[in-house]
Amino acid sequence: MLSPAPGDPPVTDESFEKPILELEQKIEELAGLGNPALESEIASLREKLDAVRREVYSQLDPWQKTQVARHPRRPYTLDFVGGLLEDWIELHGDRRFSDDHAIVAGMGRFRGRPVAVVGHQKGRATREKIQRNFGMPRPEGYRKALRVMQMAEKFGRPILTFIDTPGAYPGIDAEERGQAEAIAFNLREMARLRVPVICTVTGEGGSGGALAIGVGNRVNMLEYSVYSVISPEGCASILWRDAAKAPEMAQALRLTAPDLKDLDVIDEIIPEPAGAAHSDPQGTIDAVGQVLERQLGELATLSADELLEDRYQRFRRIGKFTELHA
């Protein structure tokens, strides 16, 4: 799990946003006066706001980026769907047990091309958070995802996935119905899909629960998203038995987009607008759309066998080791 369990006290520090919030508030106040004489002052304040945003966001440490990746105003899968797809039809259920609301899946038209979309879905208001189980899927969510991906393969449609989860749900029911098997099976079967697969980490890439829809020909990360084998909190509690060490572990885990680009885990970083995705969701959605369109174009030239080989080699290369002769 990438986030603390629901109910755990949040270990957050968003104080880095303070200068931005103060400026925003000031601009709002001035604009609210409706005085035309203030227009130029407001304009200069907006410029300043932009500069401060860039400044603050260029200096975030990994722990702060983790907070940004979890920001509730970041675009979620259905926001990307709304901004990028036409003719969207959401498809439901795994045909075995139930419909998991922590994962959405469906078909639509992206820039004229029919595609399948699969992604984690978090909620914003409390009721929706609970309905979406905080974006933590159960086995049926992963099975629904695979069902729709295999249907897309059957009809030759490319697959776009959006990754944003604290992790797969760690509960009794999830274990009983084979959480591990559901994830494992997706890993194997995604490697066999004979259509282009593009995965984008948009927020939290929480361990196996993220990877279960993350086996693609291209794996992208939004600039302030994170992707990790374990949450900084989880790592801190295992290695230090102290959640307060989370910021330190966020650093140690190398979970930011630039880190993972360096480690050859991801292919491309998609830049976010100034002040990150939550201050300009539409700009973020557009930026993602541009990258996906280009990558789909590149992959469209590959045959099914070439797509499989490309995906195999993409993951085959990952790992760092040496030879040690005693």
Partner 1 sequence: MAWFRKDKKPKVQPEERTSQIPEGLWIKCDGCREIIYRKEVVRRNWICPKCGFHFSIGARQRLESLLDDGAYDEFGQHLAATDPLKFKDKKAYRDRLVDYRAKTGMNDAVITASGTIEGIPVVAAVMEYEFMGGSMGSVVGEKITRAAELALAERRPLFVISTSGGARMQEGALSLMQMAKISAALARLHEARIPFLSILADPTTGGVTASYAMLGDVIIAEPGALIGFAGPRVIEQTIRQKLPEGFQRSEFLLEHGMLDLVVPRGEMRDTVARVLRLLWIPAAEVPAAGLASTSLA
Chain residues binding partner 1 by CB under 8 A are 1, 5-8, 168, 170-172, 174-181, 183-185, 187-189, 191-192, 205, 207-208, 211-212, 214-215, 227-230, 234-235, 238-240, 245, 249, 252-255, 260, 263, 265, 311-312, 315-316, 318-325
Strand partners, 116: 107, 159
Closest CB to partner 1 among 37 and 172? 172
Closest CB to partner 1 among 20 and 253? 253
Least distance to partner 1, CB of residue 230, Å: 5
Least distance to partner 1, CB of residue 211, Å: 6
As given in the structure block, the two tokens for residue 110 are 């992206």
Closest CB to partner 1 among 201 and 299? 201
- Judged by DSSP in three states, 307 sits in helix
Closest CB to partner 1 among 23 and 197? 197
Least distance to partner 1, CB of residue 114, Å: 24
Closest CB to partner 1 among 158 and 214? 214
- Classify burial at 47, counting beta carbons within 10 Å of its beta carbon; exposed 0-12, middle 13-18, buried 19 or more: exposed
Least distance to partner 1, CB of residue 130, Å: 14
Q: Please report, for residues 183, 290, 300, 325, the alpha-carbon distance to residue 322 in angstroms, rounded to integers and kept in the order given.
A: 29, 38, 36, 10
Least distance to partner 1, CB of residue 192, Å: 5
Closest CB to partner 1 among 45 and 243? 243
- Judged by DSSP in three states, 16 sits in helix
Gap between the Cα atoms of 23 and 195, Å rounded: 47
Least distance to partner 1, CB of residue 4, Å: 9
Gap between the Cα atoms of 303 and 305, Å rounded: 5
**Are 108 and 88 in contact, with CB atoms under 8 Å apart?**
yes
Sign of CA dihedral 148, 124, 50, 12: negative
Least distance to partner 1, CB of residue 184, Å: 4
**Are 103 and 92 in contact, with CB atoms under 8 Å apart?**
no
Closest CB to partner 1 among 217 and 279? 217
Gap between the Cα atoms of 292 and 296, Å rounded: 6
